[in-house]
Amino acid sequence: MILVIGSSGQVATELRKHPNVVALGRSEADLTNASACAKEILLRRPAAVINAAAYTAVDKAEDEEDLATLINGVTPGAMARVCAELDIPFLHISTDYVFADDGQTPWVETDPVAPQNAYGRSKLAGEKAVMSAGGNAAILRTSWVFSAHGANFVKTMLRLSKIHKTLNVVDDQIGGPTPAGGIAKALLQMSEAMIAGQAGGIYHYAGEPQVSWADFAKEVFRQS
């Protein structure tokens, strides 16, 4: 059994479709309570743990950095330490926000991190806590996540198009729109490999092609 922390987010919703997954929602694993989340892992003793829950309100994090750091940093670290004690893999989702907001080439795993906002700092805190826990852990950095669930760019564009005749979307930020289903599949494949003995590490996973937000919006409207 693979234990997933989180049940309603985009990636967690996709992970719940797998028959070997047990997903815990906020009532069972509240990331504001690190000890309670760690206790759930101890009680259930799964084959692996995937943390698919997070504080994701990027702008709001500027006013709630302590809360964001607790959810994205402190609690993942506590869960990773329990997994290390049980000798089971721990997988954690991170973000491109751990990097600076400049550059002309795609970020790779070995590039230096330099978060520019509170959300990015909170996610980097989680990366450091997880990787220093001493167990077999993996960080999967991703970006521009979309799906049929939750809040995301695709759904926002479709909603705004119903109330505005024109939309202005930036064209100087480039990324790879990434389906939540693809992230879920990658995490499950990684967890199976780690259960079999493969070491974890830090990995990047993003969709193709690389486009600007404006081009992404145009394609959303074309297909809709």
Helical packing angle, 153-161 and 213-223, nearest 10°: 60
Under the banding of pLDDT at 50, 70 and 90, the label for residue 22 is: very high
For residue 102, what pLDDT is reported? 82
What is the per-residue pLDDT for 47?
A: 98
User: What contacts 134, CB < 8 A, 6 or more positions away?
Assistant: 81, 84
* Residue 101 confidence (pLDDT): 82
pLDDT (average), residues 120-146: 97
pTM listed for this prediction: 0.94
Give 159-214 pLDDT, tens digit per residue: 999 999 999 999 999 999 999 999 999 999 999 999 999 999 999 999 999 999 99
The pLDDT of residue 104 is 85
C-alpha distances in angstroms, 153 versus 55, 80, 216? 17, 31, 9
Query: Which pLDDT tens digit goes with each residue over 82-128?
Result: 999 999 999 999 999 999 988 888 999 999 999 999 999 999 999 99
Q: What was the pLDDT predicted at 93?
A: 98
Catalytic (active site) residue 55: no
Q: Which token pair is 67?
A: 């809360």
Number of alpha carbons in the 13 Å side-chain half-sphere of residue 6: 26
Structure tokens at 224: 């809709």
> How far, in whole angstroms, is CA 123 from its chain's centroid?
9
58: confidence class by pLDDT, cuts 50, 70, 90: very high
The model's pLDDT over 27-57, given as tens digits with 9 standing for 90+, comes to: 999 999 999 999 999 999 999 999 999 999 9
Which residue of the set 55, 119, 203, 205 is catalytic?
119
Give the C-alpha separation, 87 to 90, whole Å.
Answer: 9
The pLDDT-based confidence of 136 (bands split at 50, 70, 90) is very high
Query: Is the separation of the CB atoms in 11 and 45 below 8 Å?
Result: no
How far is the C-alpha of 41 from the C-alpha of 33, rounded, in Å?
A: 13
